[in-house]
């Protein structure tokens, strides 16, 4: 067992190390905020979601849900002419402009949706078994979530490689430092070992997922899961080091 503990260091060294560990922990928080800001809306929709991560590393290509529903014959009561009008509208590049265009009259998408869909797809609809509260189509802000197809290209491979270069060296060095500090604490070896394993394996799985998920979108979970394990493990190792720096030193001998 190691006899040396961080609590045995001089006051000045403990103050300096504490400040540096706090800076590192603050960096982890800033990194989390940056990830959200960097990936948010990557999937062309507001808010942070798993699709943002999928879009960044794998790419997303999906048809508009409204178009899919129309092409499969929903709603059954909609006439062929009106259905084709809606499909042409969704396939065009004037979805926002033509939604309630006065020039289109009764062929305006808003008019067709109002007569064919709102009996079920509105907040206060009496039909549809409550689908209106889940998938409303009463206002354009609601319709546009279902009207746009998405084609999000993954990040360029050269950019990904450059990012891997900086992240692997920086995050790897940070991990090594926190593990080294935690080794010189009084806390159980099993706990330090578990957190150290989480730190190393989490980072390895996270970074490997960057490239593996380009071929398989399901492997994006490697990035999310590995990154979460790495960040939690690093934060806990840092907190253990801080605790050791300021807990009363154990007497030896």
Cα dihedral 204, 210, 215, 216 sign: positive
What is the model's pLDDT at position 43? 58
What is the rounded distance in angstroms from the CA atom of residue 240 to the CA atom of residue 185? 7
What is the model's pLDDT at position 62? 81
What is the rounded distance in angstroms from the CA atom of residue 124 to the CA atom of residue 6? 64
Cα dihedral 223, 211, 202, 227 sign: negative
What is the model's pLDDT at position 130? 81
SS3 73: coil
How many whole angstroms from its chain centre is CA 93?
A: 29
Among 241, 237, 203, 205, smallest CA distance to 221 is for 205
The β-bridge partners of 207 are none
What is the rounded distance in angstroms from the CA atom of residue 118 to the CA atom of residue 96? 19
What is the model's pLDDT at position 70? 93
What is the model's pLDDT at position 52? 85
What is the model's pLDDT at position 45? 66
Separation in Å, CA 49 to CA 31, 37, 38, 55, 97: 17, 12, 12, 10, 28
- Provide the CB-side half-sphere exposure for 111 (13 A, CA): 12
What is the rounded distance in angstroms from the CA atom of residue 117 to the CA atom of residue 109? 11
What is the model's pLDDT at position 113? 93
What is the model's pLDDT at position 1? 47
Asked whether the beta carbons of 91 and 105 are under 8 A apart, the reply is no
What is the model's pLDDT at position 2? 65
Asked whether the beta carbons of 40 and 49 are under 8 A apart, the reply is no
Q: What is the block-wise mean pLDDT of the chain (253 residues), using blocks of 10 residues? A: 85 97 95 84 71 88 88 91 94 92 91 91 83 90 87 89 94 96 96 98 97 95 97 98 92 54
């Amino acid at each position: 067992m190691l006899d040396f503990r961080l609590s045995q260091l001089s006051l000045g060294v403990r103050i300096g190390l504490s400040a540096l560990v706090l800076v590192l922990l603050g960096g982890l928080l800033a990194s989390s905020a940056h990830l959200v800001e960097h990936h948010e809306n990557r999937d062309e929709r507001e808010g942070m979601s798993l699709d943002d991560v999928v879009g960044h590393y794998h790419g997303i290509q999906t048809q508009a849900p409204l178009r899919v529903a129309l092409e499969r014959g929903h709603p059954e009561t909609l006439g062929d002419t009106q259905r084709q009008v809606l499909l042409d509208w969704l396939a065009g590049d004037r979805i926002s402009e033509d939604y309630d265009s006065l020039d289109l009259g009764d062929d305006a998408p808003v008019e067709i949706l109002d007569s064919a869909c709102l009996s079920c797809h509105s907040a206060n609809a009496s039909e549809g078994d409550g689908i209106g509260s889940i998938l409303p189509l009463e206002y354009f802000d609601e319709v546009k979530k279902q009207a746009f197809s998405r084609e999000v290209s993954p990040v360029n491979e050269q950019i990904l490689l450059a990012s891997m270069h900086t992240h692997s060296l920086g995050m790897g060095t940070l991990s090594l430092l926190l593990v080294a500090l935690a080794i010189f604490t009084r806390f159980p070896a099993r706990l330090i070992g578990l957190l150290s394993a989480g730190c190393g394996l989490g980072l390895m799985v996270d970074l490997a997922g960057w490239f593996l998920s380009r071929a398989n979108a399901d492997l994006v979970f490697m990035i999310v899961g590995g990154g979460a394990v790495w960040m939690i493990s690093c934060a806990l190792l840092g907190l253990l080091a801080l605790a050791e720096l300021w807990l009363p030193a154990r007497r030896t001998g």
